[in-house]
A = this chain, B = another copy of it.
Amino acid sequence: MFYARSNIITKEMVYVALREGVSSEFVRGEIANGHAVLPANINHPETEPMIIGSKFLVKVNANIGNSSVKADLDSEVAKMKTAVRFGADTVMDLSTGTQIKDTRGAIIRNSPVPIGTVPIYEALQRVGGSVEKLSWELFEEVMVDQALQGVDYMTIHAGLLLPYIPLTTERVTGIVSRGGSIMATWSLAHHRENFLYDHFEDLCEVAQRFDITLSLGDGIRPGSIADANDEAQISELRTLGELVQIARANYVQVMVEGPGHVPIDKIAENVRLEDELCDGAPFYTLGPITTDFAPGFDHITSAIGAAIIATYGTSMLCYVTPKEHLGLPDADDVRAGMTAYKIAAHAADVAKGHPAALRRDLELSKARFEFRWEDQFNLALDPEVARSFHDETLPAPAAKKAHFCSMCGPKFCSMSLSHRLRKEQRIEIRAKMEEKSAEFRSMGSEIYIPSQP
């Protein structure tokens, strides 16, 4: 951010400009005014620079990480690879179980995308889960350790202030953010203000030194439809807006996290408020889940919300897997979550009229209409799945050249009929043109008709 504001274009800015198809100067400008962030810890050289902002392609983050119930280093690295393979733009390691540091190290050293964490988890782990024993000093230690390892962005729950806690008591689902509930418990136990808020400038100092992007966590995001857009949530958002200004004043890149559970009719309001209260800082939302009633399918309930909120201007979507609310996701869940969210992000890019997104849809549809099956599969989000679904009912290699699929069969294929139609129309149009020109000719006019339509 310092370079951007000093009118210096770094090679990272050049790289993302090429990835996004915009000018480097445009990238610099968006970083300088805080409307976009380029998370790249100086200690994570393995990362390929990417940018998060509402004027760029919508990004998707995948959460991975172990828990005390289920922890295994290799499977977390495998999840990271699965996430990246299926298009994750960033990955958050939310481990809370054993080997937190080693797991994170292995993930960072193998990851081409920026890695995010929630440092308060490791801090809590270091004090054996006793929330009361947390302190700013311990937190700073953890933050520096993670910074040295190369974490690119960190979620900080600094906006959950003491006066907001009573606002959550009448809620249906209270506080559902892990970091939020930890900070609230600490505050009440000590009858003191959130130490992340009190030490926010110190925290910015660490972030600035390593070029870590801060992601302001919404510790009191709604955990159910009934709690959406309530006073607690909006009060915290207002505080996050203040913190955005402090971060920027300290040359720290910053984005703002959002809900959670929100019914479709209240999504637009969320984006409007974030933009207004947080001065256009990139919005990074979890879903939102648009109905509570489908545990086991929250990748779908939330892909709906994600597509809508991204259309309104959210810059990055944090995926939700089918296991949300039920258990720790495995690699299959990571794939299912990523697929649903790449769809949500792309549908938003299409709605926003991004030329690259429109082009992709156009090329796929052309291939479909022209029965170029292989092209259609290869242009698809997941060629493997598209190909296997097609081959299930029409497996012969010859079927790849067929002008129909098993859905309608040869006689009922609308696209096949459509082709015949065009051919006939060309003949008919030609006949009409000839008729018309005969008319003109009879009136003494000279008309040229090309021999091929």
Contact = CB atoms under 8 A, between A and B. Distances in A.
Contacts of A226: 358, 361-362, 365
Contacts of A412: 67-68, 96, 121, 124, 178, 182
A275 B11 CA distance: 53
Interface of A: 67-70, 96-97, 121, 124, 129, 131, 165-166, 168-169, 172-178, 180-182, 184-185, 188-189, 223-226, 261, 263-265, 290-297, 300-301, 303-304, 307-308, 311, 322-329, 339-340, 342-344, 346-348, 350-353, 357-358, 360-362, 364-366, 368-369, 376-377, 379-382, 385-386, 389-390, 392-394, 404-415, 417-422, 424-425, 428-429
Closest 6 CB pairs of A and B: A174-B418, A224-B365, A181-B417, A264-B351, A68-B409, A296-B385
A351 B289 CA distance: 12
A343 B291 contact: yes
B263 A351 contact: yes
Contact of A173 (B223, B307, B353, B415): B415
Given A292-B365, A294-B380, 5 more contacts: A96-B412, A173-B369, A174-B419, A300-B300, A308-B308
B327 A307 contact: no
A181 B307 contact: no
Nearest to A413: B178
Point out which of A301, A327, A342, A412 has the most chain B C-beta atoms below 10 A from its C-beta.
Answer: A412
Contacts of A422: 169, 174
A172 B365 contact: yes
Chain A interface mostly: helix
Contacts of A173: 365, 368-369, 415, 418
Contacts of A381: 293-294, 296-297
A292 B415 contact: no
Contacts of A342: 294
Contacts of A70: 393, 406
